[in-house]
Amino acid sequence: MENYRKSAHCIYDIKYHLVWITKYRKSVMTGQIAVRKRELIRMICQSNEVEILAGHVGSDHIHLLVSAPPHLSASKLVQYIKGNTSRKL
């Protein structure tokens, strides 16, 4: 029971494993770009009440294991993360 998250009307444990790659698997996320991408993902997840359980920013892919609230679907979460990071980078 201690690993569950609580809101006003529910108790939940929703986890998503999100993986996405760059187009043609080009190695573009290196150095300062990878660090900035990691910061942006953390800020977006924090603002949407998403807890990052594990994550990795590779040179051509990103892995995330997140725990999200029930009102936020996986597709909407990926839309927020990919959209905001692409605009700000």
Whether 23 is in a domain gets the answer yes
Instruction: Return d(Cα 33, Cα 75) in angstroms, integer.
Output: 24
Whether 1 is in a domain gets the answer no
- Which residue in this structure is represented by tokens 């609580």? 6
Whether 54 is in a domain gets the answer yes
pLDDT of residue 65: 97
Whether 58 is in a domain gets the answer yes
CATH of the domain at 14: 3.30.70.1290
Instruction: Return d(Cα 66, Cα 68) in angstroms, integer.
Output: 6
pLDDT of residue 24: 94
pLDDT of 43 higher than 90 = yes
Whether 2 is in a domain gets the answer no
Which domain does 70 fall in, by range?
Answer: 7-88
Structurally, how many domains does the chain consist of? 1
Confidence band, pLDDT 50/70/90 cuts, at residue 9:
confident
